[in-house]
Amino acid sequence: MTTDSPETAVPSRRSLGVRIGRIAFLVVAVIVVIAVAAAFFVTWTIQRSFPQTGGAIEVTGLASEVTVKRDASGVPTITADSTDDLFYAQGFVHAQDRFFEMDFRRHVTAGRVAEMFGASQAGTDAFLRTLGWRKVAEAEVAAMDDVTLGYYEAYAAGVNAYLASRSGAELSLEYAVLSMQNPDYAPEPWEPADSVAWLKAMAWDLRGNVEDETERALLAAELDAGATEDADATDAADDTSAMLERLYPDYPFDENPVIVPKISTVPALETDAEPAAFSSRDTDADVQQAVTTVEWEETANVVAAASLLVGDVGEGIGSNSWVVSGDLTDTGMPLLANDPHLGASLPSVWYQVQLKCSTVNEACPFDVGGFSFSGLPGIVIGHNQKVAWGFTNLTTDVTDLYIERVQGDEYWRDGVLVPLEESTETIKVAGGDDIELTIRSTVHGPIISGLTDDFTAIADDPLPAVEAGIPGGPDLFSGGTLPEPKEEPEYAVSLRWTALDPGTAATAIFALSTAQDFDDFRYAASLFDVPAQNLTYADTDGNIGYQTPGRLPIRGAGDGWMPQPGWDSSYDWTGFIPFEELPVSYNPTSGYIVTANNAIVTDDYEYFLSRDWDYGYRAARIAHLIERRAAAGPLTAQDMQDIQMDSEMWIGKQLAAALADVEVSGTGPREAVELLHAWDAQNTASSAAAAYANVLWSNLVQNIFGRREQPLPIDGQARLFTVVASMLEDPSDPLWTNAELDVDGMDEMLALSAEDAYDELSGLQGTAVTLWNWGDLHAITLRSDTLGASGIAPIEALFNRGPFRVGGGASVVNATGWELGTSYATTTVPSMRMVVDLSDFDASTWIHLTGASGHAFDEHYTDQTADWATGIQRPWAFSAKAVEAAATHTLVLTPAG
């Protein structure tokens, strides 16, 4: 059912898993003005937004002086006498380096992008308004304790102090460009809810399996439509279920590791915290008017557009983190490594910073360094003076789609019609008319069909998906839960997602930063509800650990693998897994813990967590390398860095072996196949064999699944590793036959794919196979999230950087993801890498994708990228002595008057 106006409709359907790229602008009627003003930009405008990093600045709102020491990478260490001054200064410094990014993000999370950039973003705003992130953030702020709220208010005061000192182009070059069309636009004051809302955006980036669930639902309808007319309905549903199981196999527990093979017994937390309760979702949000004539390039799908704005669960989204006990290291103390895998962005999503109280005590407890988000106070990942921690995406299923049977303004629940919840919002459109948006919700959550073609397509033909999700089950309308429809029923799709309920992650950040032992760490984890993350741990007493946190649902009759019947309450969530019953590991006998989005526990765990884990190839490789290196001698911090850059392509090894006895036609293709015989299976940037192996893999997958009369999904390379590996063990598998390509059998399919791969790669890099290289094919171009894809070369040249040659690949430890069937260019990345040495924090290292600054042409805009691409990490000075020695600039913020 469609509740939005025609202006918010989306033109064409595209798979939710497709990565669209970065945000694109079409700047109307300003090309001449831009050309005339180019010299002005270069000679004056660009540099006027650069921050002051030395001397002193007098600001209103501080109680005492604050020092900001920046090192050669522009990374600040902030030292203050009180928490109010500390977070005030962090807000000021974030705004100095990244305010346009912060301003843009808050418009995204509030569903107000059209206010800045026009009607092309109204559909995206409608989707984000329907989810109601901003409203949830406001509820979380309202529920904060006074201390935590004080941190957010102090941070906002610091941001606003910076805004009071500058405006327009003085804030960022982007505002200079926008002001040529939008002279009246001025940023609003920062609010705590602006900070908290970004955690909802990160939850969207790491949301789990909603794309897979959607893809399976659409595929179920297609498979059902392709069934023979005389097939029994039950048999057809069973056949559809069997094909889905085949294409989305279970986690290979017999081959790849789980994170917690044995759950540790640890003392229960001494806390009065209660499990999170269910709550209704209020999606009203305030909007304000802005004036602009900038238009954005429209995407084919508003969910893709939201993903483009915020982050997509695309190929390679995930993370690696592991911790090694001192029993295995050269120092006798733990090492902790982490590299979160996120969509590539410029500037990077991360901002390195250190926050230090002049005197660490109960009133001012912070002595912490690591990675923050611009716009958010505190440290998200890092270490304090006692404890280090890392994150990887938990990959548990915290999103479910429900099929609702709607009748007018009501919907069916257990045989009774109940009213839909309904609210109306106004989307302000720069340069256009306001759009009235009606948001409808059920007990499960907001109705999202009518906002994107994929969800609408499910609503148009939902029963095959529901039936495939409960094969062999009872009739959908039995038991009196829903009367047999007397006329064509109307269906809608609603979304149940933990992130749409208020939570406590905004508080957990500070609890992590001040944790002094494993109990403190677990208490912080109990607050970290959304997005659910694997949390790894190490401390200076030599302990290592792991905790599953998160608000993880307990389901009724279904498991959320497919859309479920919303009219039957037996499929509702019934609660959340109690924290004390979540998996935990403390000082395991193995001496290490590896998390790489693999299964957390075996299937005999009491509660259902997910069927959509990463398939564990990265986790298995990391564990293998730890064990192999530990057998050769004590592990070092350099070993951790080397493992992070490991690029072994597991499926590449299988393909090389499979092609050994396959007859390939043509001198060129035979020479290409020969490359694989001497290949070490490493996707290094300079490798010709790696280039060919990846192009071979792409063509093989497309020939098997995509280039046929009824195409099958080709996203999720780890999933396809598992499917194709099973096929390689069974030459009689019917999927090896593709009538569209006149291919019959495994050897013919492998030969054709090898020849196709040669043709493709020789067209890209020439016919001399030894001159091929993976790095150029897989290069990354860093594009600004906003003006960097304008289509106007002078504008793009201002903001974009690259290409940079990179190694790695999809579902390898050095996880530089790319999209099968689209391009080999890197789209998702290890967004940062860190190795924390618990024997000496000053011996720790870190790096991230771009640099500290969000200002184009600032020396720190992309000054970390070359090192990031080659695996070099930079020293991480933490102690006061080391920070002082590393400082190149010192800024003193002083109280006004």
Of the candidates 831, 781, 51, 56, the residue with the CA atom closest to the CA atom of residue 372 = 831
For 100-146, the DSSP string reads HHHHHHHHHHTT-HHHHH-GGGHHHHHHHHHHTHHHHHHHHHHT--H
Distance CA 770, CA 776 (A): 14
Q: Which of 49, 120, 241, 319 is catalytic?
A: 319
Amino acid at 263: I
**DSSP letter assigned to residue 226:** T
Distance CA 151, CA 140 (A): 14
Q: Are 727 and 736 in contact (CB under 8 A)?
A: yes
**Residue 518, both tokens:** 């494993």
Cα-based angle 232, 233, 237 (whole degrees, multiple of 5): 115
235 has binding-site annotation: no
User: What's the sign of the alpha-carbon dihedral 50, 51, 52, 54?
Assistant: negative
Backbone angles phi, psi at 222, to 5 degrees: -65, -40
Q: Are 295 and 25 in contact (CB under 8 A)?
A: yes
For 604-624, the DSSP string reads TSSS---S----SHHHHHHHH
CB neighbour class for 690 (10 Å; exposed up to 12, middle 13-18, buried from 19) = buried
Of the candidates 896, 897, 891, the residue with the CA atom closest to the CA atom of residue 80 = 891
Distance CA 608, CA 702 (A): 33
The helix/strand/coil state of 406 is strand
Amino acid at 674: E
Distance CA 157, CA 159 (A): 5
Taken as a whole, the chain contains a residue count of 897
The helix/strand/coil state of 648 is strand
**Residue 661, both tokens:** 């006895």
Q: Are 507 and 145 in contact (CB under 8 A)?
A: yes
The helix/strand/coil state of 727 is helix
Distance CA 664, CA 748 (A): 9
**Residue 150, both tokens:** 């004080």
Of the candidates 855, 837, 746, the residue with the CA atom closest to the CA atom of residue 799 = 855
The helix/strand/coil state of 664 is coil
Looking up tokens 């800024």 gives: 891
882 C-beta neighbours (distance < 10 Å), count: 18
**Residue 694, both tokens:** 């990846």
**DSSP letter assigned to residue 562:** S
User: Angle at which helices 146-165 and 83-109 pack, to 10 degrees?
Assistant: 80
Distance CA 54, CA 295 (A): 39
191 has binding-site annotation: no
Q: Are 422 and 411 in contact (CB under 8 A)?
A: no
Q: Are 438 and 3 in contact (CB under 8 A)?
A: yes
Distance CA 753, CA 728 (A): 14
Distance CA 830, CA 642 (A): 14
670 C-beta neighbours (distance < 10 Å), count: 15
Task: Please indicate whether residue 319 is annotated as part of the active site.
Answer: yes
Of the candidates 343, 346, 344, 364, the residue with the CA atom closest to the CA atom of residue 355 = 364
Distance CA 371, CA 354 (A): 8
**Residue 286, both tokens:** 């305030």
Output the CA–CA distances (angstroms, integers) from residue 583 to 252, 259, 265, 395, 758, in the order listed: 20, 9, 10, 14, 47
400 has binding-site annotation: yes
Residue numbers in the known binding site are 213, 397, 400
Residue numbers in the known binding site for Ca(2+) are 213, 397, 400
Question: Which residues does the annotation mark as catalytic?
Answer: 319
